[in-house]
Structure 1
């Protein structure tokens, strides 16, 4: 999975998925939120295969998206994500 930082606070999980789906099948996209439901400015994108994730990371890191320069890297803690607690995820 990829960590996507410096997201616009208006970015939705669907915006995130749409931005990354050109690189392969996105099995999960999530914009992480505070307990109060406000965006934390980062998200997670999970691809069906590592090749697509690598291509997306190489292509999207440093790109301007919704007025902000993205920071894209490998997610270091995918086991800590629990979309049911964060409320911003979808497995579409």
Structure 2
């Protein structure tokens, strides 16, 4: 996580964090289960992504699911439904 935070800091300073791919990678690596990730840091990263993609929403939801904080999973899913242009894909 220390190296990821350094990379994230560099992305912020250079403006690269506005790149959807760069921000998605920082989110994905930080949302991994401990000890490799930090869901609180992932949530911080997620809240700073402008117009999160469906992939970003899935990543943060999966991160909270793997961290066993189910109340946040439901909260974020409802936030996606109510406050985002992104909608979940329904399987037939």
Structure 1 length normalisation: TM-score?
0.29
Which is richer in helix? Answer: 2
Which is richer in strand? Answer: 1
Larger radius of gyration: 2
Structure with the bigger RCO (C-alpha within 8 Å, sep 6+) is: 1
